[in-house]
Amino acid sequence: MMPSESRLHPPGFTLLEVLVAMMILGISITLLMQVFSGGLQAVYKAAGYSRAADHGREKMAQLMLPAEIQPGEYAGAFGDGYRWKARITPVSVTFLSSSPVLPGAAADVPLTALIANETRGLFQVRLWIFWTDGGHRRDMVFSTLRMARLVTVENAGG
């Protein structure tokens, strides 16, 4: 009498098959968690840069507001851990043509006429925003040019 085939191969999984399935499941969950964690870190990092851009826009508007400008370095901090540093420097202007004009000006005023007046000048405004993100120092830089009156001893009093 031969044993039936159902007794030789009972239904179900062997211990080895269960262990392999559990290893595959564990590796899959680990990889999925790493992908999810990386996505959250990217969102957090992007939020930091977005906040820095907001602070930069705000501080740059404050630096560009006054009619007169004082060259130099300035620094400060925002209330949420972000810090800023600004450097305002005069820019020397040389022209290739004899009399370039300011586009859109009422009477096409030559730029040389505006710059020839010693109380007005062209300035570069550079702004750095600094913050710490997960132990890493991050920064963002803004830069623009501005035509303004120079603050001197004679016109500083008003």
Q: What is the pLDDT of residues 89-139, one digit of tens each?
A: 998 876 555 555 555 555 555 555 555 555 678 899 999 999 998 888 999
**149: nearest Cα among 121, 113, 126:** 121
Indicate whether 3 belongs to any domain: no
**55: nearest Cα among 79, 74, 73, 72:** 79
pTM attached to this predicted model: 0.62
**Widest CA span of the chain, in angstroms?**
121
Sign of the four-CA dihedral 53, 56, 61, 67: negative
Indicate whether 158 belongs to any domain: no
User: Can you give the pLDDT at residue 69?
Assistant: 85
Q: Is the pLDDT of residue 3 over 60?
A: no
Least confident of 37-41, 135-139, 143-147: 37-41
Q: Which residues span the domain enclosing 86?
A: 14-150
Indicate whether 9 belongs to any domain: no
The number of distinct structural domains making up the chain is 1
Q: Is the pLDDT of residue 31 over 60?
A: yes
Indicate whether 76 belongs to any domain: yes
User: Can you give the pLDDT at residue 86?
Assistant: 97
Indicate whether 33 belongs to any domain: yes
User: Can you give the pLDDT at residue 57?
Assistant: 96
Least confident of 12-16, 35-39, 79-83, 109-113: 109-113
Mean of pLDDT values over 56-76:
92
How far is the C-alpha of 129 from the C-alpha of 74, rounded, in Å?
12
CA angle 156, 57, 152 (to 5 degrees): 10
Q: What average pLDDT is seen over the chain?
A: 81
Percentage of the chain beyond pLDDT 70 is 72
User: If you ran DSSP here, which 8-state letter would residue 96 be given?
Assistant: S
Indicate whether 7 belongs to any domain: no
Mean of pLDDT values over 44-67:
93
Indicate whether 1 belongs to any domain: no
User: Can you give the pLDDT at residue 110?
Assistant: 54
Indicate whether 156 belongs to any domain: no
**86: nearest Cα among 58, 60, 67:** 60
Encode 112-132: b = buried (16+ Cβ within 10 Å), e = exposed: eeebeeeeebebebbbbbbbe
User: Can you give the pLDDT at residue 111?
Assistant: 54
